[in-house]
C-alpha cells in the first residue's frame, strides 16, 4: 500500500472520527482492511494513532481545567489491565472473529452515541462512601453557561470494573472506545458531560499505550506504515475539530454516524464470510 | 488545581500555595509537546526520504522489540551518526509512545511531592508500574 494512499485514508478517517465523535480508529481499520491489510496490522497501527489523537485533544482540555485528573487516574488502573488482556487476545486470535467483534462494537457504540441525549445532567445527590474516599469531585468553569459547575462522582465501585471492559475493547480492537467510556462516566458515575468526554480523552491515551506495547512486542507495528497513518489521522482530526466548532448542525453529525453504521455492518458480513 | 470540598485543611493550603505550579497545565504541555515533537520527527523523516529518493514510503518492519529496545537502538544509531530518514520516523514513534508514559510519571511525582496524597500516589505508581512492565514485554 502506497504512502500517499495510506495518508489519504488516514486524513479521511481522522476527519470522520472527529466529526462523529467516535475517533479515527473506527473508520481507519475497516478502510485499511478493505485495501487488503491484515486486520491485526490495521489494529496495531490504529492504536498507535489513537495515542496521537487522544493526547493532542486532551492537551487542550487539561489546560482548560475541565478534565478531572483523579477520576482519570483511578479509572486508568482498570483500563490499562483491560487493554493488555484485549491486545493479547487479538494477537492470539484468528482473523474472522475480530471482524465480527469489531462490527458489533462499532454498531453498539454507534447506537450509544446516536441515542445519547445531552440536555439533562442531574448532579449526584448522594455520594457513596467509596467515591468520597477516592475524592472524586471537582469543579470547572463552563464557558457556555458562564458559571462554575461543581460536581461529585459516584458509584466508583461500579465504574472501575466496567472500565476494565472498556479497556479490553480498546486493546482488542485498536480503537479509543471513547463512546463506551463516556457512557460509563455519564450514566454510572454521574459526571457532567464535559468532564466525562474530556476525562475519557485523557484515559484513552494511556489505555492505547498499554495496548500498543503488546502489539509492538508482537512485531505488528510497522513504522513505515505507521508514519503516514499517524500524520494523516492528526491532520484529519485537526480539520474535523475546527469544522465541528463551526458546524453545529446535528444533521452533519448524523450523516457521519450513518457512514459508521454501514462500516459496522460491512465488518460483520466480512467476518461471517458473506462478503470478501 | 481542583480545590476539593471536604478535604483536609492541608490540601486546601497546598491547593492555594501551589498556584505557581499548575499540574494540569504541566500535563497539558507534556501532551502537546510530545505530540508535536513526534509529528515533526516523523515529518522530517518522510520529507528527507522523499527528497533523497523521490519516494515517500519507507518500508521496513521491526520485530520482537519492546519500546526500550527500540529507543536504545535509536539512540545508539544517533550517536554512531546514523542519521537516516528511518531514524527520525522511529524516534517520532518512540516519542509518541513515551508521551502518555511521561505524563503518568509526572502525575506520580505531583501526587507524591506536591499534593502529598498517598492514595493517589499509590494509584499512579500502580499505573506506572504496569505500563513499565508492559513496555518491557518482548
Note the pLDDT tens digit of each residue in B24-64. Answer: 888 899 999 999 999 999 999 888 888 888 777 776 666 66
The predicted model gives B8-18 an average pLDDT of 38
Are the beta carbons of A9 and A28 closer than 8 angstroms? yes
First to last CA, chain B: 39
B74-86 tens-digit pLDDT:
888 778 877 788 8
Cβ-contact A17, A23 below 8 angstroms: yes
Could you give the ipTM of this predicted complex?
A: 0.89
| The pLDDT of residue A186 | 81
Please report which helix (H) or strand (E) contains residue A236, including its range.
helix A223-246
Per-residue confidence in pLDDT tens, chain A, 276 aa:
788 899 999 999 998 888 777 778 888 999 999 888 999 999 999 999 999 999 888 888 888 888 899 999 999 999 999 999 999 999 999 999 999 999 998 888 778 776 765 556 778 778 888 888 888 888 888 877 788 888 888 898 999 999 999 999 999 999 988 878 888 888 888 888 888 888 988 999 999 999 999 999 998 998 888 999 999 999 998 888 777 666 555 666 677 778 888 888 999 999 998 776
Question: Cβ–Cβ of A228/B131 closer than 8 Å?
Answer: no
pLDDT for position A30: 92
CB-CB contact of A240 with A18 (8 Å) = yes
B7 has a pLDDT exceeding 50: no
What residues of chain A lie within 8 A of the CB of B25, using their CB?
Answer: 62-63
Helix (H) or strand (E) holding A148: strand A147-152
Contacts of B70 in chain A (CB under 8 A): 216
The pLDDT assigned to A249 comes to 57
Q: Which helix (H) or strand (E) holds A228?
A: helix A223-246
Q: How far apart are the first and last CA of chain A?
A: 19
Residues of B within 8 A of A75 (CB-CB) are none
CA distance A5 to B79: 34
CB contact under 8 A, B39 and A230: yes
Distance separating alpha carbons of residues A28 and A201, to the nearest angstrom: 18
The three-class DSSP label of residue A176 is coil
Q: Phi and psi for A137 in degrees, rounded to 5?
A: -145, 170
Question: Looking at the partner chain, which of B1, B42, B66 has a beta carbon nearest the beta carbon of A230?
Answer: B42
- Interchain contact, A230 vs B131, CB within 8 Å: no
The grid cell for B105 is 510519571
What is residue A246's predicted lDDT score, i.e. its pLDDT? 60
Which of A236, A229, A237 has the alpha carbon at shortest distance from A212? A229
Q: Rounded mean pLDDT of chain B?
A: 80
B45 to each of A58, A189, A238, how far by Cα in Å? 26, 44, 21
Distance CA B30, CA B51 (A): 31
Cell of A129: 462512601
Using the beta-carbon criterion (under 8 Å), do A138 and B2 form an inter-chain contact? yes
Instruction: Report which DSSP code applies to B80.
Output: T
Nearest Cβ partner for B38 among A3, A4, A52? A52
CA distance A219 to chain B (A): 4
The sign of the CA dihedral A84, A90, A212, A207 is: negative
Q: For B115-132, give the DSSP string.
A: S--HHHHHHHHHHHHHHH
State residue A241's pLDDT score.
78
At residue A237, the 3 state secondary structure works out as helix
According to DSSP, the residues that pair with A139 across neighbouring strands are: A150
Of B25, B43, B101, the CB nearest to A63: B25
Task: Choose, out of B130, B132, B133, the residue to mutate when testing the contact with A (most A CBs < 10 Å).
Answer: B130
pTM: 0.88
Residue A148, φ and ψ in degrees, nearest 5? -85, 130
User: Residue A158 and residue B114: Cα distance in Å, rounded?
Assistant: 30
Amino acid at each position: 500500500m502506497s504512502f500517499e494512499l495510506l495518508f489519504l485514508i488516514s486524513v479521511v478517517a481522522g476527519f470522520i472520527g472527529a466529526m462523529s465523535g467516535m475517533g479515527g480508529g473506527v473508520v481507519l481499520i475497516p478502510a485499511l482492511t478493505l485495501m487488503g491489510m491484515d486486520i491485526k496490522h490495521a489494529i496495531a497501527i490504529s492504536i498507535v494513532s489513537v495515542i496521537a489523537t487522544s493526547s493532542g485533544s486532551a492537551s487542550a482540555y487539561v489546560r482548560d481545567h475541565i478534565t478531572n485528573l483523579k477520576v482519570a487516574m483511578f479509572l486508568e488502573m482498570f483500563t490499562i489491565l483491560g487493554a493488555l488482556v484485549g491486545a493479547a487476545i487479538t494477537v492470539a486470535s484468528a482473523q474472522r472473529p475480530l471482524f465480527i467483534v469489531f462490527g458489533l462494537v462499532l454498531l453498539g457504540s454507534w447506537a450509544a452515541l446516536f441515542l445519547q441525549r445531552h440536555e439533562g445532567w442531574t448532579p449526584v445527590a448522594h455520594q457513596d462512601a467509596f467515591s468520597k474516599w477516592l475524592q472524586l469531585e471537582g469543579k470547572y468553569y463552563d464557558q457556555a453557561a458562564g458559571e462554575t459547575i461543581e460536581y461529585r462522582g459516584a458509584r466508583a465501585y461500579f465504574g472501575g470494573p466496567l472500565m476494565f471492559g472498556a479497556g479490553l475493547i480498546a486493546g482488542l480492537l485498536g480503537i479509543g472506545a471513547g463512546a463506551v467510556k463516556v457512557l460509563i462516566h455519564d450514566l454510572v458515575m454521574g459526571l457532567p458531560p464535559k468532564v466525562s468526554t474530556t476525562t475519557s480523552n485523557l484515559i484513552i491515551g494511556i489505555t492505547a499505550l498499554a495496548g500498543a506495547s503488546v502489539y509492538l512486542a508482537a512485531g505488528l507495528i510497522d513504522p513505515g506504515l505507521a508514519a503516514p497513518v499517524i500524520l494523516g489521522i492528526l491532520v484529519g482530526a485537526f480539520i474535523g475539530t475546527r469544522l465541528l466548532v463551526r458546524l453545529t448542525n446535528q444533521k452533519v453529525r448524523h450523516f457521519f454516524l450513518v457512514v459508521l453504521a454501514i462500516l459496522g455492518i460491512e465488518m460483520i458480513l466480512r467476518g461471517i464470510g458473506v462478503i470478501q | 488545581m481542583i480545590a476539593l470540598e471536604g478535604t483536609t485543611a492541608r490540601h486546601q493550603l497546598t491547593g492555594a500555595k501551589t498556584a505557581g505550579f499548575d499540574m494540569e497545565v504541566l500535563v497539558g504541555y507534556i501532551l502537546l509537546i510530545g505530540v508535536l515533537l513526534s509529528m515533526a520527527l516523523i515529518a522530517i523523516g518522510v520529507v528527507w526520504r522523499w527528497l533523497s529518493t523521490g519516494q515517500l514510503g519507507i518500508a521496513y518492519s521491526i520485530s520482537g522489540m519492546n519500546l526500550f529496545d527500540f529507543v536504545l537502538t535509536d539512540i545508539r544509531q544517533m550517536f554512531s551518526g546514523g542519521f537516516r530518514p528511518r531514524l527520525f520516523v522511529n524516534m517520532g514513534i518512540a516519542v509518541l509512545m513515551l508521551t502518555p508514559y511521561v505524563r503518568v510519571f509526572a502525575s506520580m511525582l505531583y501526587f507524591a511531592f506536591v499534593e502529598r496524597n498517598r492514595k493517589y500516589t499509590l494509584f499512579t505508581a500502580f499505573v506506572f508500574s504496569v505500563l513499565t512492565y508492559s513496555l518491557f514485554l518482548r
